[in-house]
Amino acid sequence: MPEWFSGLGGAKLEHLRRQRSRRRSIRGAAERLPVWPARALMLQPADPLGGDRWETVAMLLSVTEHFTKTARHSSFYLACGPETGPLIIFVHGWPELSHSWRHQVRCFAALGFRCVAPDMRGYGRSSNYRSHADYALEHCVHDMLDLLAHLGRDRAIWVGHDWGSPVVWSLASHHPEHCRAVANLCVPYIASGFASANLIALVNRETYPEATYPAGQWEYQLFYEEHFDRACSAFEADIENTIRALFRKGNPAGQGKPSRTAEVRRDNGWFGGAGKAPSVPRDPDIISEEDLSIYAALAGTHRLLRP
C-alpha cells in the first residue's frame, strides 16, 4: 500500500466505518425489495409502513433520467418513486454524481417518497463553467430552487453529503419556506460558513501542531487555492486510478495520526506529490466495476475530478 494512503486520521476513519455500515444497511434493504417492471402502484400516503393495512402494494423502483433547463443553467437528475410522494432531493459532494445516491433513492422510493438526485453544476451531465466564481454557493442554491420549481413543488426534504451539505444548509438558512427538513452527512454544520478561515479556527492543535500544519487537515484546501492547475492535472492524469484510490475504505493504521489531507501542501500535491494516482486495486466494498466505469466515463468528459 502506498505511503500517501496510510495517513487517514482517526476521525475520518471512524466516519468511514460508520458510512460503510450505513451503506451496507441501505444497500441490503434496497436489494431485498421486490421490483414490478412497468407497474407504478401507489402507497397509501397516510400509512406507508402499514404492512397488511396497505390497500395497494406498490413501489416504483425504476430510476429514470431527466433534464431541466432554464436561461441560466441546465440540470440532469435521476428520479425514483411515486410522483405524488413526499419529495426528497439528494445533493451529492465531490467527487460524486447523482449516481452516488443509487441505493438510497430506491430504498426511500420503496417507502413512498419521490426521490430526486441531480448532478450538481460542474458534474456529470449538468452545465459546467470555467470561472471559479460560477461555483459559489449562491449559484448552487439557485440551481436547487430552479429544480424544485421544475418539479412543481414548494418544499422538499434536502439531504446533502460532503460538499452538498453546505448547499442544503444554505437552503435552510436563506430559504426555509422551501424546506420540510434538512440532513447533512459527513460535513458538520458551521453557521458562519464552510470557508477556510472558519474551519482552521476549529483545528485540533494536539493532532495538528500549527508549526507543522498551519491549516490542520484543511491544508489541501489551501493547496487548491494556490495550485489549482497542478491539483487538477494530478487527479486527471489517470482517471481510473484516481477513482480507485479515492473510493475506498479507511486504513486502520491511520488511527490517531494526522489526516493525509494535512500533508498535501507539504508534498506539493496529492499522492505524495507524484503527480498522478498510484495503481491500487479497486475496493469492491465501495465501488463495483460497473460503477467505476460510469464515474470514469463522466470524469473524462465533464471534469468530475476537478476540486
Q: How confident is the model at residue 304 (pLDDT cuts 50, 70, 90)?
A: low
How many residues does this entry show for the chain? 307
Q: Residue 301: its pLDDT value, please?
A: 63
Distance between CA atoms of 300 and 306, rounded to whole angstroms?
Answer: 11
Tell me what the pLDDT averaged over the chain comes to. Answer: 82
Helices (H), 110-212: 137-150, 165-174, 196-200
CA count, 13 A, side-chain hemisphere, 56: 14
Work out the angle between the directed axes of helices 102-109 and 10-32 (0-180°, nearest 10): 50
Parallel/antiparallel/unpaired status of strands 114-118 and 74-80 = antiparallel
Distance between CA atoms of 89 and 71, rounded to whole angstroms?
Answer: 22
Q: How is residue 300 written as a grid cell?
A: 473524462
Q: Is the pLDDT of residue 34 over 50?
A: no
Positive or negative torsion for Cα 193, 196, 198, 202:
positive
pTM for the whole thing? 0.78
Q: Residue 305: its pLDDT value, please?
A: 63
Q: Are 261 and 271 in contact (CB under 8 A)?
A: no
Helices (H), 112-263: 137-150, 165-174, 196-200, 219-226, 228-236, 239-246
Reported as a single tens digit per residue, the pLDDT across 142-180 is 999 999 999 999 999 999 999 999 999 999 999 999 999
Positive or negative torsion for Cα 232, 234, 237, 240:
negative
Distance between CA atoms of 22 and 30, rounded to whole angstroms?
Answer: 12
Distance between CA atoms of 183 and 160, rounded to whole angstroms?
Answer: 6
Q: How confident is the model at residue 254 (pLDDT cuts 50, 70, 90)?
A: confident
Query: Which of 5-9, 102-106, 212-216, 293-297 has the least mean pLDDT?
Result: 5-9
Q: How is residue 232 written as a grid cell?
A: 487538477
CA count, 13 A, side-chain hemisphere, 85: 29
Q: What would the DSSP string read from start to end of 1-44?
A: --GGGGG--HHHHHHHHHHHHHHHHHHHHHHHS---TT--PPPP
Q: Are 181 and 152 in contact (CB under 8 A)?
A: no
Q: Is the pLDDT of residue 37 over 50?
A: no
Q: Residue 49: its pLDDT value, please?
A: 46
Q: How is residue 15 written as a grid cell?
A: 466516519
Q: Is the pLDDT of residue 27 over 70?
A: no
Kindly report the backbone phi and psi dihedral angles of residue 296, in degrees, each rounded to the nearest multiple of 5, phi listed first.
Answer: -65, -40
pLDDT above 70 covers a percentage of the chain that reads: 78
Distance between CA atoms of 124 and 35, rounded to whole angstroms?
Answer: 27
301 vs 78 pLDDT, higher one: 78
Reported as a single tens digit per residue, the pLDDT across 51-104 is 443 333 334 578 999 999 999 999 999 999 999 999 999 999 999 999 999 999
Q: Give the three-state DSSP class for 264.
A: coil
